[in-house]
Amino acid sequence: MSELDNLELYAFSRLYDRAGDPTHPACGLKAAQEWLAQQPRQCCTARLALPYDVRPLANAVAHLCSLGAESAATVGDDADALDLRGLLHFDDHPAYTFIFLWTLARAALGQASAPPALDLAWLQSLTPATPFVTNPAKQLAQRCYARVPLLWAEEGWQSEIAHDWRLRILRYAESAAIVADLSEMQHGWSMARFPNFWINALCVVKIGAVASDNEAQANTLQSILQKRRFNAIHVDAPGGDPVTRAAHLLYFGEWAALYLAALYGVEPEARVPLQLLGLIDGRTS
């Protein structure tokens, strides 16, 4: 039995209760539609003013909508930018925020939105009640424990999802993580030299799928990593379209970060270092 199968570990934080709620995407869609209905004029811009720690999700939406990541995450006070800094927060569930932003982007393109069809059985497999041996999020957390996760994802929306994972690992588990796309993995991490102990201090986490035209390069890179004896794992999520896969991956990343927090004995909402720096007042939302 794994330490992560002890359900008492999850009794002290509401984040564990809300992490597996499958209604987050539908709630994000509804909230965005209600917000749009209250606006004095039709939303027709992709420029958003957002908290910095929400921007990876906006960038992912921009890639999926082919709007360009920069335009979707621009921070500014001009009349054309939608100021969402008081509306969206990092502490919202990432699937909620992602679908909220997706709905706004679709509205900017004059298109309707629908919530993704989540795989409820797969979501259940991530929850604390599912034993370690069949729980991919617990298994990933255990592999990353006492190591620095190197989150490798295809450039584009998957890389932005990886950046959200990085932030949640940092905020919830107070643990460092690194993000690299295929180009960075090929030209940097494939040849990087480390002190002897560093190979064991990294865990390479391949997130999502590789584009068909990059498969040969990715396979060669994985062969190099294996020969160098990197600790590596590949994780993916179900979904017949990128938006559904992205929503599933956001649930996965939320759970993995929370399980890491449990392994490190960190209360994910407390963020004691931020309190000591005077950056938060210590109250949980």
1 pLDDT above the threshold of 70: no
74 pLDDT above the threshold of 90: no
Q: What is the pLDDT of residue 39?
A: 81
pLDDT band at 212 (very low <50, low <70, confident <90, very high): confident
Tell me which of 146-150, 222-226, 238-242 is least confident: 222-226
User: How far is 283 from 285, CA to CA, in rounded Å?
Assistant: 7
Instruction: Tell if the pTM clears 0.85, that is, is over it.
Output: yes
Mean residue pLDDT across the chain: 86
pLDDT band at 71 (very low <50, low <70, confident <90, very high): very low
Q: What is the pLDDT of residue 120?
A: 97
Domains of the chain, by residue range, sit at 23-117, 127-264
**Those residues with Cβ within 8 angstroms of residue 26's Cβ, 6 or more apart along the chain or in another chain:** 99, 115
46 pLDDT above the threshold of 60: no
pLDDT band at 148 (very low <50, low <70, confident <90, very high): very high
Q: What is the pLDDT of residue 159?
A: 95
**Does residue 266 contact residue 174 with C-beta atoms inside 8 Å?**
yes
The correct CATH number of 127-264 out of 3.40.190.10, 1.10.3720.10, 3.40.50.10490, 3.40.50.300 is 3.40.50.10490
Q: What is the pLDDT of residue 213?
A: 82
| CA dihedral angle for residue 251, residue 254, residue 260, residue 264, rounded to 10 degrees | -150
**Those residues with Cβ within 8 angstroms of residue 2's Cβ, 6 or more apart along the chain or in another chain:** 131, 132, 138, 142
Q: What is the pLDDT of residue 279?
A: 60
Query: Looking up tokens 């539908």, which residue turns up?
Result: 26
What does the pLDDT average to over 221-245?
89
**Helical ranges in 55-178 per DSSP H:** 55-65, 69-72, 94-108, 120-124, 136-144, 157-173
DSSP string, 226-284: HHTT-EEEEE----SSHHHHHHHHHHHHHHHHHHHHHHHT--TTT-HHHHHTTSS-S--
Q: Which helix (H) or strand (E) holds 83?
A: strand 82-83
Q: What is the pLDDT of residue 189?
A: 77
pLDDT band at 284 (very low <50, low <70, confident <90, very high): very low
Of 63 and 108, the structure prediction assigns the larger pLDDT to 63
202 pLDDT above the threshold of 80: yes
What does the pLDDT average to over 99-105?
94
pLDDT band at 163 (very low <50, low <70, confident <90, very high): very high
pLDDT band at 199 (very low <50, low <70, confident <90, very high): low
